[in-house]
A and B are shown apart, each in its own frame.
Chain A
Amino acid sequence: MSETPIITTKNLNLWYNEKHALMDVNMGIQKNKTTALIGPSGCGKSTLLRCFNRLNDLIGCVKITGDITLDNESIHEGAVDIVMLRKRVGMVFQKPNPFPKSIYDNVAYGPRVHGVRDRKELDVIVEKSLKHAALWDEVKDRLNESALGLSGGQQQRLCIARTLAVEPEVILMDEPCSALDPIATAKIENLIDMLKQEYTVIIVTHNMQQAARVSDFTGFMYLGKLIEYDQTVNIFEHPKEELTEKYITGRFG
């Protein structure tokens, strides 16, 4: 992990009221790589993911210490524009959540919020984003139809297209395939593989085979701590920590 990371956490701690949910997390997320966060339910992986674009700010009882930097600049300092931060660090959630609008308007929503009004420009962005999300061929003839008419897998790729439309640098994915069938899952996984050419992807997944397949780096978390963080091949072939070994071989508890 010698390259300069795009995101770095320094002694990151997070509390939900009294509950200490993240403990001294130090990690560097490598640019243009896919990083997977794995661990049992409640270990803090989604909480950590949501720290990267400050989604936890929306929860009143959260207290954070330590720091996170994006391109060497703190994302917590007062001057940070949180809308800009979330433009740079986009997110895809567990369940596809398209807006009850047309396919076109879903993708154009973000650019419009950021001030793009020109229809031709929007057309270009929508086409490019849908192509990047490997959805264009399936929807190009029905862009004005409701996004809610798409299948679950298509809806998820639409959400990815919506994220790409604002040209983020980092894409956070929280269990993006857990609501999808194996074929739709395979499409998303292929997509993740393509996306890393241009974006940095951080994915939370419960499916260890998926983590092994799609990621370059894997972090294993347990009870709020980052237990082991290394190249994915090392984590799944010969992890250094006994806890990691026990978790990935199903010998937990």
Chain B
Amino acid sequence: MTEKFHAELNDLKTDVADMAHFALAMLRDALESFINQNEGQASTVLERKDHLRETGVRLEEHCYQLIALNQPMAKDMRTIACSLKVISASDRIGRYGKSTAKIVKEISRKPHIANMMSLPLMSEYVISMIEDATTAYDTENIQMLKDFSARDDAIDALRHSIFREAITYMMENPKTITQATYYIIIARYLERCADHACKIAENVCYMETGERVEIK
């Protein structure tokens, strides 16, 4: 029976990693559609929302079932606990993708201002953090999470600079207020996504070592 359980646990991990990639693709496509002002691409992100939710519910159920039927211990238990966290973090990341796509629908017909400030760079950073956190979960390699604190600091700094820059533009020219406000909102979404990547990273460390770490 334990072999069957361990096979199921492996399948669960693969499925959860797939969900994380699916959510990341939603965010990535939303950001791409923002940068390229591609409303069609934004629509495809919105269409994926239901699938994301259903996958999350199904995988959560699977976790609960594995706990109820097998009473896992030690790393098996930690893997399921971590998987539950990855599921909810991925759900949030995918939904920030959806929210970004909605903004694209609002503003894509107006030209970008200020070269989108640092949003393209911030997007790149955040996506790579989510990618690394997901890969670390999938491959159980915590080495790639070492510099997460510094990376998260960089994200916070970028969010702050976008905020300041947007305020300046708005003060100079009220016509930019709508665009600049949405930029601030997207920067906020990205910062939240980076936070979720950090949460995944913390849980992967717990899964692997049993030790609690805090990424500040």
User: Chain A: residues with CB nearer than 8 A to chain B?
Assistant: 208-209, 212, 236-239, 244-245, 248-251
B74 at the interface (CB under 8 A from A): yes
Dominant SS among interface residues on chain B:
helix
Q: Complex: how many Å from CA A238 to CA B71? A: 15
Interface centre among B71, B75, B209, B211 (most CB of A within 10 A): B75
Would A236 and B210 be within 8 Å (CB), given that A250-B2, A250-B5 are in contact?
Answer: no
Q: Complex: how many Å from CA A208 to CA B70? A: 12
Chain B residues contacting A238 (CB-CB under 8 Å) are 74, 78, 209-211
User: Chain B: residues with CB nearer than 8 A to chain A?
Assistant: 2, 5-6, 71-78, 209-211
Nearest-neighbour CB distance to chain A for B116, whole angstroms, equals 45
Q: Name the contact of A249 in the complex, choosing from B74, B209, B210, B211 (C-beta under 8 A).
A: B74
When the two chains form their complex, are residues B210 and A212 in contact, meaning their CB atoms are under 8 A apart?
A: no
Q: Complex: how many Å from CA A143 to CA B163? A: 81
When the two chains form their complex, are residues B5 and A237 in contact, meaning their CB atoms are under 8 A apart?
A: no
When the two chains form their complex, are residues A249 and B71 in contact, meaning their CB atoms are under 8 A apart?
A: no
When the two chains form their complex, are residues B74 and A236 in contact, meaning their CB atoms are under 8 A apart?
A: yes
Nearest-neighbour CB distance to chain A for B80, whole angstroms, equals 12
Q: Complex: how many Å from CA A248 to CA B75? A: 9
Nearest 6 pairs between A and B by C-beta?
A238-B210, A250-B2, A248-B73, A249-B76, A236-B73, A245-B74
Closest residue of chain B to A237 (Cβ to Cβ) is B210
Chain A residues contacting B210 (CB-CB under 8 Å) are 237-239
Closest residue of chain B to A238 (Cβ to Cβ) is B210
When the two chains form their complex, are residues B78 and A251 in contact, meaning their CB atoms are under 8 A apart?
A: no
Q: Complex: how many Å from CA A246 to CA B134? A: 26
Q: Complex: how many Å from CA A119 to CA B116? A: 94
Chain B residues contacting A248 (CB-CB under 8 Å) are 73-74
Closest residue of chain A to B5 (Cβ to Cβ) is A250
Q: Name the contact of B71 in the complex, choosing from A209, A244, A245 (C-beta under 8 A).
A: A209
